[in-house]
Amino acid sequence: MSGSVLIAAGGTGGHISPGVALAEVLAEKISTFGFDAVYLHSLVRNKDNPDLLNPPCLVLWHNVPQLGGLRTLVYPLLFLYPFLKTILLFHKLKVKAVIGMGGYSSLPAILYAILFRKKLYLCEQNCVPGKITRIFAKFSEKIAFSFPLAEEYSITGKTIGNPIRKRVIPVTLNIRQNENLHEGKKNTVNVLVLGGSQGARQLNQMILKAMENPDIANKYKFRLLTGTSLYEETKRKSVGNAEIISYANDMKPNYEWANIVVARSGAGVLAECLVFGLPMILIPYPYAADNHQKENANYIESQGAAVTIHSTSEDPTRLVQILLGWKDHSEILREMGHTSLALSNVNAAYQTVSYFFH
């Protein structure tokens, strides 16, 4: 297949990051997969996204409007102009195949593939398929899943794993920080807290309250990645020895430092924690579309790599209970770490591209 392949990288980090991981593979081995060029297609507002600051290929920027609110009635008119620009550009670049990563911003590329009979492939990151996957599955050649779909959904595809960027992948695989944990108060357990790119006030406050327990404070060392907007607030409220960081462009050192991760349950964070063999305490974002974070967390918990807290409050009671239960039982963390690693797929990006084009 000559011509070019285009990756519609979505409007949020959860769609962008795996799209960039696929672009890395294609850019490196473009002729192997039968194309002349690879492009990323993303929203103008994502120009400052860390994954797109130094991309592996040319990024084509667009500004298709978001659907919803008062715009719904006039959306077709608002959509038409950027879509016509997309058609002309894609014709010029000889786009022959489109990989949709999900989200409304992938709509122009997907519609182009359907209308002009180009090959369409879809990637679904979550256990609950998004609207794009559900609507356009019947038009796609193949669909790659990051995790098994929740049982109420029956969409044909292959579960491969969430594509991970090269810069996040561990240099030495099979890193198991928890192998070196031993019983006793002198053996500190490192807990990495991730609230996502925008941060999560609930997680930050829950951790700070948990640290008020002296047994927790003595045994666990916390590192909070608060998100830029919540950094000052969290720093001000912190009274313990927690390490407060607003944002980290390079996540690898943080994962290598951690013994446990406390996080939301977006697909990207889950995939990255798995390749580092990390046990997780997952607190799903309760307002995520179709409650997909809940299903993601439930799947990882069902496999034995995580414990889930379903809560909308900052009450630390359950978190404290879990951490105290693990305090003198490092064998639990070791076993969860082994399970986590077994669920990972460090080669998901290459395997996804190979599945689509071989």
- Residues belonging to the binding site for UDP-N-acetyl-alpha-D-glucosamine are 12-14, 126, 165, 197, 293
CA 295, CA 282: separation in Å to the nearest integer? 11
Residue that is written with structure tokens 């299903």 in the block: 295
Q: Name the packing angle between helices 330-343 and 267-275 (round to 10°).
A: 110
DSSP bridge pairs for 98: 6, 120
Q: CA torsion angle for 8, 249, 280, 339 (degrees, to 10)?
A: 70
CA 264, CA 248: separation in Å to the nearest integer? 17
Extract long-range pairs of 248-251: CB within 8 Å, 24+ residues apart. 249/50, 250/167, 251/168
CB 25 within 8 A of CB 118: no
